[in-house]
Structure 1
Amino acid sequence: MPDENETGAPVDIAALAPAVKAALLEVLIHGELPRAEIARRLHLSRASLTRITRILVDGGLLSEGETRLMAQTGRPSEMLRLRAEARHVLGIKLTGDGLFAVVTDLAATAVATAERPLRSAEPEDVVADIADVAAGFRAEFPDIVAVGIALAGRVHQRDDGPFVEVSEWLDWRDVPLGAMVRSAVGLPCAVENDVSALTATEHWFGAGTGVDDMALITVGVGIGCGLVVNGSPVEGAHARAGLVSHTIVDEAGPYCGLGHRGCVSSMLTSGAIVGAYRVVGIDYAGVVAAARDGDAIARAIFADAGRALGVLIAAVVNLVDPRKVVLSGDGIAVVELGGDEMRAELDRRLDGSAAPVDIDVRTWDFSEWARAGAGIAIRSMLS
């Protein structure tokens, strides 16, 4: 059950006042901080900050740690740290036929995982599967306070909850998923496009922590791109920012399924790489293994893919000037096998006078998509 404050009332994170949420968020994102630093960042008086942090400490969300001598003031200051274990959230990733789930603490650190096939792709059946998984986890984690769902598709945020406009993998159109899950599970539910969710989660809890301008590019079955500019995710006028899959990277390249010649999808997706290898019965992992074993054809395919990725990264960097580019996804082996070509293309296409871009390649596990669902649930509670 939720911790209680000194009046005995349950502490509901989503219902906290904006200033209280802001103080909690500073510690959540930046780690333990002294009261004076939190007050400075939020432009609050010492008295106001004392009242706010008392709510969070009494509610069990922050704890008072050791006292340190702060160089800027020369005075001892008591550090405040997040009690991440005080609450848990459930993150879900939906594919066309499966459900991946993770329970995380408030710092988006996974503490339990599960996966199961979907009984069907009908929205009612998917919601029933989510409810079953939630019930199983809540037996062990009764303090789960929210659900977050990541899926491939377009999601709109409406007054009555998040709404899946379209998801090709699930063959969905106009599904009020947020309201359906909230009704079935009895918890607030956030829903977001999977790449947007992963971008937001990496920004708060991963490689982008403390970075105001970043890009995330995912490589795998599809190619995704998420952007954070001036500390805020970029969504676009129609929630379609980051659609880079059909950016032309080689005008002499192969055709994609939509008839575009030499676009990112025709050269960089796992399906394009398998198709270029042209060996019956070999999947993406098989082509990766062949390239690692020195197969000349496989290595040439990954070299082309690396060049395509380099062109794409350069286009993103030249457009938005991020401090960091995070590369991730289940096809991330392209950086290992085509990394030299990727870097050569970057050198060729980036302005020589520009600041160096920090490229952070993340190891990949499919549960990261579910963790992204948890991340947006946390962000939703604190937004």
Structure 2
Amino acid sequence: MPSTYRVETFPVATPAASAVFITVLSQGPLTRVELARRTGLSSAAVTKAVRPLIEAGYVIETEDDGVRASVGRPANPVQVDGGRALFIGVKVTGDEVIAVLTDLCCRIRTARHAPFTTQRPADVIGLITALTEELIAEAQGLGVAVQGVGVAVSGDVDRSAGVVHYSPFLGWRDIALAELVSAATKLPVTVDNDVRALTIAEQWFGGGVGCANFAVVTVGAGIGCGLVVDGRVVSGSHGVAGEIGHLPIDPQGPVCHCGNTGCVEAIASDSAILRRIREDTGRPVADSAEALQLAHAGTAGAREAYARAGEAIGRAIGAVVNLLGPERVIISGEGLAAYDLFAEHIRDAFGAAAFGAAARCEVTTRPLPFEEWARGAAAAAIQTFIGSEPR
């Protein structure tokens, strides 16, 4: 690797320093006084954390505009210097690799898309490597170091081990993806579940900024959920926290690819909706676009399939809200193209399932293209770099 791209060690590695940096990253510019208030740390602890960040160039002071602290010294706001380091984020779908180059503030500088026709791990990893090399070359022209790569994959992903235990849309089992991609790119690699990675980006830079407790629910090829509890993205002891797609809600429902019966994903995923429409209408519906056309035209069986999907999603969201009590649930994913068909059913099922004050949870939608999911992978790499791991 060129010397320009020497991988660095983040200058601070304490929980307090990570908290300060993440707060500045997601909510800055902020004065040290405001940082102390938002992190709950003492002024001395904030100053101790900020000093090495400034010396290393990761944080810069901005003009104070004449504002003075109570002790008479300038209350200069501090902010993250986004151009100080670059990161690569990769989202792997069932048929495409999307890679983005971001700065330290997770702003996308450039993006690459590459379809694939074979899901063999070696072939997909080769494509990931090729796109990563392209982005490294582009970063080299900027003269800024790439400090890490994040890869987001659907399914059962053990981030701590960097292993994809099972990805149903890729047909992968027990792939040591972090090790393989790192060996090919010569960079530190973080591998995470795609919805969990998206949740990190939403927490720091999107619809979850400032929320200590929220959830991201994704609808589309699968039904996923990312959870933030007390300001931390939750992965659970085994890396599968938030798998509401495999919450069984109908004992008489269809069999899910996981082997259970009546899972949310077996009712509300794109493929499940297509299967239900084909069965109920007898039509060889080709894809989701055709399914949407039939439903919007009022075709019997098509609208009912989306209604049933909306009910399943709403009941699943109700379960999440009853268990964790988040202040906000963000619905995203490619399945939002059909939101007008099942929004009412989501709301009604959620309202019926939510217990008491839990019904006050704000449920909102946020359409996000797959480039934003790749950005989430970059956010996971940034999280690893600064030493703030999920629990």
Which piece of structure 1 moves more, 140-149 or 233-242? 233-242
Which piece of structure 1 moves more, 354-363 or 141-150? 354-363
* Structure 1 residues 154 and 251: CA distance shift in structure 2, 3 A: closer
After superposition, what is the alpha-carbon deviation per residue over 1:39-88, rounded to whole angstroms, capped at 9, x for unaligned? 45363454x65564343334332222231577995975211122213222
* Structure 1 residues 70 and 314: CA distance shift in structure 2, 3 A: farther
- Amino acid in structure 1 at the alignment position of 2:153: L
* Structure 1 residues 42 and 146: CA distance shift in structure 2, 3 A: farther
**Unaligned stretches of 5+ in structure 2?**
none
After superposition, what is the alpha-carbon deviation per residue over 1:125-161, rounded to whole angstroms, capped at 9, x for unaligned? 3333222211211222123221000012323245xx5
After superposition, what is the alpha-carbon deviation per residue over 1:285-312, rounded to whole angstroms, capped at 9, x for unaligned? 2222333344454323222221111111
The structure with the greater share of residues assigned to strand is: 1
After superposition, what is the alpha-carbon deviation per residue over 1:313-340, rounded to whole angstroms, capped at 9, x for unaligned? 1111111111111111111234321111
Assess if the C-alpha contact under 8 Å between 2:12 and 2:53 holds in 1.
Answer: no
Aligned counterpart for 1:376 among listed residues 344, 365, 380 = 380
Determine the structure 1 residue equivalent to 2:56: 59
* Structure 1 residues 79 and 246: CA distance shift in structure 2, 3 A: closer
TM-score (norm 1): 0.86
Whole-angstrom CA distance in 2 between matches of 1:73 and 1:299? 63
Aligned counterpart for 2:34 among listed residues 37, 50, 53 = 37
Whole-angstrom CA distance in 2 between matches of 1:49 and 1:132? 41
- Amino acid in structure 1 at the alignment position of 2:344: D
Whole-angstrom CA distance in 2 between matches of 1:286 and 1:216? 27
2:274 aligned counterpart, secondary structure? helix
Assess if the C-alpha contact under 8 Å between 2:351 and 2:359 holds in 1.
Answer: no
Whole-angstrom CA distance in 2 between matches of 1:73 and 1:296? 69
CA RMSD for the aligned pairs? 3.0
How many percent of aligned residue pairs carry the same amino acid?
Answer: 37
Is residue 12 of structure 1 aligned with residue 8 of structure 2?
yes
2:134 aligned counterpart, secondary structure? helix
Which piece of structure 1 moves more, 10-19 or 287-296? 10-19
Aligned counterpart for 1:305 among listed residues 289, 306, 309 = 309
Report matched runs for 1:1-383 at 5 Å.
12-18=8-14, 20-39=17-36, 41=39, 43-46=41-44, 49-50=46-47, 52-67=49-64, 73=70, 77-118=75-116, 120-142=118-140, 143=144, 144-158=146-160, 162-250=162-250, 253-256=253-256, 262-278=262-278, 279-354=283-358, 356-382=360-386, 383=388
Deviation at 1:347, TM superposition (A): 2.1
Q: How many residues align?
A: 374
Assess if the C-alpha contact under 8 Å between 2:166 and 2:174 holds in 1.
Answer: yes
Whole-angstrom CA distance in 2 between matches of 1:287 and 1:225? 25
**Unaligned stretches of 5+ in structure 1?**
5-9
